[in-house]
Amino acid sequence: MRLLRLILSTALFCFAFFPLHAQESDSSTRIIGGEEAKSGQWPSMAALIQAGVNAFDGHFCGGNYIGDGYVLTAAHCVADKDADEIEVVLGVSDLTDSPLVGERIAIKELYVHELYNLNSTDYDIALIELEQLPSVETALLATWLDYGQVNTGETLTVMGWGNLQSDPNLVADYPELLYQVDVPLVSQTQCRSLGGDYAGIGDDAFCAGYLAGGKDSCQGDSGGPIVFNDNGEYKQLGIVSWGVGCAQENAYGVYANVGYFEEWIAQKIAGQHFINQDDLGVLEIRSQHYSHTFTIENNNSQSVVYQLSELENATLDEDNCSDLVINNGGSCTVSIIFSVLDYGEAQSAIVLSHDVEGIEPFTLEIHYIGMDAAEIELDSGSSGGAMGWWLLVLFAMVGKRLSRRCTRVIFKGITRYND
């Protein structure tokens, strides 16, 4: 019955570049120390289910319905999956009731944050577009301003159908019923002071829980909401992302910060899809120019008119977007020319304004690292002097994001294998 989930919660892999220490890097996907939620208490709660499998056995992550046919979840839950591999169950507290009550809906499209990658826990957010509109209530989302007004120590509530067993040496216990637990918000300073993976937490995430342990989210709760009471209204403050163990001492649960992503969420729901940032890797320092083309797709139900409003460290090559009416399903491109004149990390960018009400202009970036041609070229007869030194610099630049996360593949609710 639960073999699938047990398999999905046991594997680890790590690049040889960064040693894996179980005490520090066993980040799990993780309700411990809580109670059963009342039926219908969290009407927007969603369960992500393996397509074609019953809801209890097929459940692997949570989510929250935010309206307009979209479910908010964690990127690591869906980043390595196709839309036809997942279905969403809404309107149930007991997963075994799903054939009789609630709604089970296929997925039209998956939108994973463009800056998320499988080697990191940063930008752990995704949207699921459903094939049809459900009849459940819509969740309220916290804004960045809301997050700033929630005090350290304030009670948050997290819910899910995840593992109830905190002891990793015992068999996991996945419930049929939805569970919830209250945990306090932890300051960024306190969370980072734990060191290890916690030291690198940015504004895109926050911590909650008890330093003494005992209460926490656990495997299978990934992607689900953590909420706070805003004068009688519950708003989703975060998304279950990762943690070290479940309800362990000196370890907090980590949650993607919904308010940090409010503009990204609005853009996706408005149908504006593009790659916010593209990493070009190492480029040769030279007097000749490089070129790059940005592509913007309009998946809004209405037409959109874009306008190129700003260039950063670049000159315009060709603008096939500005002042043109881009209909639903259409796309346009902007090409730029840029130079790489110095060592180290650099970026170029464009800013596009538009006529979509309520959505900020878009910033699209390219990132790259400048290096001399002689140091890039691999000489089979070389002893590795300059190249070896620059490889160390390169790892220091692009590997710094990986070193604190290693190449962790066990996160809340799903095991991921990296190439």
Residue 408 lies in a domain: no
Domain count, the chain: 3
Counting every residue written for the chain, the total comes to 419
Give the pLDDT confidence of 299-323 residue by residue, as tens digits: 776 788 999 999 999 999 999 999 9
Closest CA to 78 of 65, 98, 105, 60: 60
Residue 63 lies in a domain: yes
pLDDT band at 30 (very low <50, low <70, confident <90, very high): very low
Residue 181 shares a structural domain with residue 238: yes
Cβ atoms of 256 and 61 closer than 8 Å: no
Active site residues: 76, 124, 222
Residue 183 lies in a domain: yes
Residue 178 lies in a domain: yes
pLDDT at 15 over 50: no
Residue 381 lies in a domain: no
Residue 11 lies in a domain: no
Residue 220 shares a structural domain with residue 155: yes
- Measured CA to CA, the distance from residue 48 to residue 51 in angstroms comes to 9
Cβ atoms of 116 and 99 closer than 8 Å: no
DSSP code at position 360: P
Give the pLDDT confidence of 379-397 residue by residue, as tens digits: 434 444 444 444 444 444 4
Task: Give alpha helix (H) positions in 245-310.
Answer: 262-269
Give the pLDDT confidence of 112-153 residue by residue, as tens digits: 988 887 777 899 999 999 999 999 999 999 999 999 999 999
| Helix, strand, coil percent content, the chain, rounded in steps of 5 | 15, 40, 45
> Which structural domain range is residue 114 located in?
42-130
Residue 27 has what pLDDT? 40
Residue 156 shares a structural domain with residue 79: no
Give the pLDDT confidence of 239-291 residue by residue, as tens digits: 999 887 766 778 889 999 999 999 899 888 877 666 666 778 889 887 778 99
Residue 401 lies in a domain: no
Residue 33 has what pLDDT? 66
Residue 152 shares a structural domain with residue 223: yes
Residue 101 shares a structural domain with residue 144: no
Residue 189 has what pLDDT? 96
**What is the model's pTM?**
0.66
Last residue of a domain, one of 263, 284, 309: 263
Residue 242 shares a structural domain with residue 290: no
Residue 389 lies in a domain: no
Greatest mean pLDDT among 5-9, 30-34, 51-55, 208-212 = 51-55
What is the domain-level CATH number for residue 344?
A: 2.60.40.10
- Measured CA to CA, the distance from residue 176 to residue 57 in angstroms comes to 10
231, amino acid identity:
N
Residue 247 shares a structural domain with residue 300: no
Q: Position of tokens 């209204």?
A: 233
Give the pLDDT confidence of 341-350 residue by residue, as tens digits: 888 889 999 9
Q: Position of tokens 């819509």?
A: 138
pLDDT band at 89 (very low <50, low <70, confident <90, very high): very high
What is the domain-level CATH number for residue 158?
A: 2.40.10.10
Residue 280 has what pLDDT? 86
